[in-house]
Amino acid sequence: MLRLVAVTLRLGGELVLDALTVEARAGEILLIEGNRGAGKTKLLEVAAARRQPDAGEVWIADHDVTALQRGSLPFVRRNIGFAEAAPRFLSRATVLENVMLPLAARGEPAAWAREAAVRALGKVGIVGLGAHDPARLSSGARRLAAVARALAGVPPLVIVDDPSASLSAVDAGAVLSAMCGAVEGGAAVVCASADGAFLAAATAAGARRLRLDAGRLVPGVGTMVALPGRRAHEPRADRAEAALDPLAQLELGS
Amino acid sequence: MRTPATVGAAPLSERLRWGARLTAQGLRRHRAVFWMSAAGFACATVALAACLALARAPGAGVTAAGSTQLVAFLNDDLPPGERDALALVLRKLPGVAGVRLLPSDEALGRMRAELGSRAALLDGIEDGFLPTTLEIALRPGPQGAGRADELAWRLRRMAGISDVDVLRNEADHRLVTEQQTSRRLRLGLVATSGGLALAALLLVAALARRRRADAAILEGLGFTAWAVSGPVFVTGAAAGAGGVSLVLLGLRLGERLISLPVLAAVAAAAGRALGGGRGQAGTFAAATLLGGALAWWGTRLPRQTGRGDQLAAEM
């Protein structure tokens, strides 16, 4: 679904991404881990067709995005659910209206779009906030709303930057569960995080991990975690929730 | 749940439906802005109508009819040669019908004649008592009598001339006063319109930032440029059309319902100034297009590049 080939990005003369080659297949979660400044966010922006690399190719659904004209980019972006690290919403519009927007861009019928948006809000546990103004929500609720917007309608490619930021363990578990649900539906999910607990939980749920350091992939990191009785890259929503649920952890500990 | 599949261009019917929905949302979300824009267009239309009404008012284009004369008092020490040269220069000025040099003794003789039986009062006065003057007759029209005050002001600054009087008959004097008042009113209205236009531009600039932010979000989600700017254009056009409609409706009602004849006449004059039915339709169309274009322009300005807001500006 997503393939980055020898992608290089420079910002202000500084090398941010150094000839990265990464692939995310349909039906898997690809975790990009790394410290702050490792280039995770820039990598996601390139993958989401928000930023043009200086060199390399970005293939999304068998289309080389770097070769497209600017006018064609919206048709690529509408197939990508992207939750930014600092999500932005239309002001004075409700959370539900914001979550419906990607579906509007795709030209889905309004009734179905509404239903899908409510379902996406329900997956991250904020269906009750649908009528609220995003500007008045806490940062955690805004993050959940952004993830819901990225997942609404289950686009083929979902990209989430720092999904567990300012979230409780329960909410982070809900996000991971929703991401697993999208993967089970056939989407490819790429997310970047520096949160150890979230990375561990996602790995336990079957996510593939890549480590990024100073714009380069760290060799030897990026193995798939094989879960008993499941495909190597097939995530499990139930395990994801359990891994981040404090009550479950208490039970496991006892 | 649907199986994820890539989508391309949406069907036209759905695009139009979402366009209408997003336009309605935009009107609801930015209703204060909408009404402020409409009010701005209404004020600009009123100012335009008032300017046109004043410009087309009876007498506005008429200038002093005639018999306007300037009398330039020359310095006593001006040599005769320079007097003649000055008269020659003045004769060549546009709007000047004729220049006559009136020597001091002739001026005194004229004064004696005007005094008649009381001319004896001037007995014993020396010949050089009155200054030599230039009598400048101005042609009727905007280049002549209409510029009498301006010419007088210029002559007062010329070497060899100590002072200048403007002589008009009563009707011309009243006409000039009315013209001056009308000009001041027009200038006031133009200044007001300019102020309103500046305020509108500042408002547009302030709104442009918000519109750009909205546009960045929508384009990031996969909306095409047309899908982003279409609803914005319609909203702006509606503000322009709404503002002008309010004014035109107000003028019609004012003409019919206001009992004060003066106000009714003003409303009627403003309505006529906008050019009757065809002109009003033109004003309506112009405001609609201008409102839409201004709003659209707000979304098209170059954006600041920042995190998550690259939008492939470099592409």
- Is B222's Cβ below 8 Å from some Cβ in A? yes
Backbone phi, then psi, for B67, in 5-degree steps? 60, 20
Show me where the domains of chain B are located.
12-59+176-300, 69-167
pLDDT higher than threshold 50 for residue A245: no
Per-residue pLDDT at A99: 94
Residue pair B238/B291 in contact by the 8 Å Cβ criterion: yes
Q: Tell me which of A32 and B159 has the higher pLDDT.
A: A32
A187 at B interface, C-beta within 8 A: yes
From CA B173, how far away is CA B124, in angstroms rounded?
37
3-class DSSP state for residue A30?
A: strand
Instruction: Tell me which amino acid residue B119 is.
Output: A
Mean pLDDT for A158-163 is 92
Distance CA A56, CA A42 (A): 14
- A73, closest residue in chain B (CA to CA): B222
φ/ψ (deg, to 5) at B212: -65, -40
Note the pLDDT of residue A63. 81
- Inform me whether the C-beta atom of residue A82 falls under 8 Å from chain B C-beta atoms: yes
Residue of A104, A155, A186 lying closest to B22 (CB–CB):
A104
Which member of B8, B214, B220 has the closest CB to residue A50? B220
Chain A residues in contact with B231 (beta carbon < 8 A): none
Buried b (16+ CB within 10 A) or exposed e, A91-102: ebbbbbbbbbbb
Note whether A18 and A216 are within 8 A (CB).
yes
Closest by CA to B112, choosing from B103, B100, B121, is B121
**CB–CB contact B4 A86 (8 Å):** no
Neighbours of A114 (CB within 10 A): 17
Please give the pLDDT value at position B281. 82
Asked whether the beta carbons of residue A79 and residue B220 sit closer than 8 angstroms, the reply is no
pTM, 2 dp? 0.67
Higher pLDDT, A102 or B159: A102
Q: pLDDT tens string for chain B (315 positions)?
A: 555 666 666 777 778 888 888 888 888 888 888 888 888 888 888 777 777 777 666 554 444 455 678 888 888 888 888 888 888 888 888 888 888 888 888 888 888 888 887 777 777 777 777 888 888 888 776 666 667 888 888 888 888 888 888 887 776 777 777 777 777 877 787 787 778 767 766 776 667 667 788 888 888 888 888 888 888 888 888 888 888 888 888 877 877 776 666 666 666 666 676 666 777 788 888 888 888 888 787 776 554 443 333 433 333
Rounded mean pLDDT of chain A?
82
Is a pLDDT exceeding 80 seen at residue A16? Answer: yes
pLDDT at B201: 67
Q: Flag whether pLDDT at A232 surpasses 70.
A: no
Which residues lie below 8 Å from residue B88, measured CB to CB, with a gap of 6+?
none
Q: Alpha-carbon distance B249 to B274, whole Å?
A: 13
CA distance B261 to chain A (A): 47
Q: Of A50, A114, A74, whose CA–CA distance to B223 is shortest?
A: A74
Question: What pLDDT does residue B259 have?
Answer: 64
d(CA B32, CA B230): 20
Q: What pLDDT digit, counting tens, does each position of A109-150 carry?
A: 889 999 999 999 999 989 889 899 998 999 999 999 999 999
Count of A-B CB contacts under 8 Å: 124
Sheet containing A55-60, strands listed edge to edge, beginning at the edge strand earlier in sequence: A14-24, A2-11, A55-60, A63-64
Tokens of B68: 């306007």
Is pLDDT of A253 > 70? no
Q: What is the pLDDT of residue B145?
A: 67
- From A152, A158, A96, A154, select the one nearest A128 (Cα to Cα): A96
The confidence score (pLDDT) of residue A94 equals: 92
Write down the pLDDT at residue A98: 94
What residue in B sits closest to A156 (Cα-Cα)? B4
Task: Output the pLDDT for position B307.
Answer: 35
Measured CA to CA, the distance from residue B264 to residue B252 in angstroms comes to 9
pLDDT digits (tens, 9 = 90+) for A168-177: 888 888 999 9
For residue B115, how far is the Cα from the chain centroid?
49
Q: Alpha-carbon torsion B211, B232, A76, B6, what sign?
A: positive
pLDDT at B44: 80
The DSSP element (H or E) to which A247 belongs, if any, is helix A246-253
Quick one: pLDDT at residue B262? Answer: 61
Q: What is the mean pLDDT of residues A27-31?
A: 90
The domain defined by B69-167 folds into Alpha-Beta Plaits (3.30.70)
A156 vs B6: CB contact, 8 Å cut-off?
yes
A102, B2: Cβ pair inside 8 Å?
no
Contact status of B264 with chain A (Cβ, < 8 Å):
no
| Domain residue spans of chain A | 2-253
Task: Report CB contact under 8 Å: B25, A93.
Answer: yes
Q: Does domain A2-253 have CATH number 3.40.50.300?
A: yes
